[in-house]
Amino acid sequence: MAQETKAMERISTGIGEMDKLIEGGYPRERSILISGGPGVGKTIAALQYVNKACESGLSCIYLATEETPEELIIQANQLSLPLSKYVENGLLTIEPVLSERMEDIQWQRAKTPARAIFKKPLDCISKSKADVIVLDNLGSYTLDVTMGAFREQMDLLIHTIRKKQMSSLIISDETLTERYNNVALYSVHGAIHMFKRENPFTGNVERLINVMKMRGTKTPLGYVKYIIDENGINIQNPKISK
């Protein structure tokens, strides 16, 4: 008798219609990369993901390199996401690494060996017992880094996360993925690109999601339209756009 294949466990994206499009959410204990330009909602997607993970009883750590914990809590409150409650009860830790990354910039300018590029994230991952980790934003650590060093460090980062049996969401600027010719996509289990474009028929600017890869998951082949409102990211129409 053939052995039954165990279904892949998943964690909700925090966006209901998005879960339906990728078989229930992001694969558990895997690393997912979200990339995009400014104003597409990358951090909002991360906050919705963390909120849903905490709601499910998973412990989370959020490495914030571009905003203070206070700013993230304010943004979450505006979206009616009770992250402050999860911080208070210990389910969520927001690491204030905005100031620490200034040291990373100094190391990179001094041409520090590649192992120091993701020093702070790797230290946090090594010490943490969290189920979920969010790194927002990857680009903050990669100034003046060669492509070879970046690929090595991405592989090390993902390997360390996998070894700790964590689920991770890594946020990246669009400029970073372009600078390194999308090599980060080869390191991660899944990759999502969020972007804006002008609708050629209406002339209106619309926001779209492209699920570039998600191993072991049936994914939409076209672009998925979404909006950002007071509740965060919502799939406006589950139909796929070309």
**HSE-up of residue 186 (Cα within 13 Å, Cβ side):** 9
The confidence band for 240, taking pLDDT boundaries of 50, 70 and 90, is: low
What is residue 141's predicted lDDT score, i.e. its pLDDT? Answer: 72
What one-character-per-residue DSSP string does 90-105 give? TSEEEEE-TTHHHHHH
Q: What is the mean pLDDT of residues 29-39?
A: 96
In-domain check, residue 202 = yes
Asked whether the beta carbons of 86 and 52 are under 8 A apart, the reply is no
Kindly state whether residue 5 falls inside one of the protein's structural domains: no
Q: For residue 128, is it within any domain?
A: yes
Over residues 38-64, the mean pLDDT reads 97
152/3: higher pLDDT = 152
| Contact status, residue 15 vs residue 233, Cβ threshold 8 Å | yes
User: Tell me, what DSSP letter sits at residue 145?
Assistant: -
Query: Which CATH number goes with the domain that contains 77?
Result: 3.40.50.300
The pLDDT-based confidence of 90 (bands split at 50, 70, 90) is: very high
Q: Is residue 7 part of a domain?
A: no
Q: Does any domain span residue 228?
A: yes
Structural domain includes residue 110: yes
pLDDT at 114: 44
- Total domain count for the chain? 1
Domain annotation covers residue 1? no
Residue found under tokens 């951090």: 43
Burial class (CB in 10 A: 0-12, 13-18, 19+), 209: buried
H or E element in which residue 79 lies: none
Q: Which of these, 7, 8, 94, lies nearest to 50 by C-alpha position?
A: 94
pLDDT tens for residues 159-218? 999 999 999 999 999 888 888 878 899 999 999 999 999 988 888 999 999 999 999 999
% of the chain at pLDDT higher than 70:
86
Residue with tokens 């911080």: 87
Residue 215 structural domain: 13-241
Query: Would you give the distance in Å from CA 89 to the centre of its chain?
Result: 23
> How far is the C-alpha of 206 from the C-alpha of 212, rounded, in Å?
19
Q: Please, where are the H alpha helices in 132-219?
A: 147-163, 174-179, 184-187
Confidence of residue 94 (pLDDT cuts 50, 70, 90): very high
pTM above threshold 0.85: yes
For residue 2, name the pLDDT band (cuts at 50, 70, 90): very low
What mean pLDDT, rounded, does the chain reach? 87
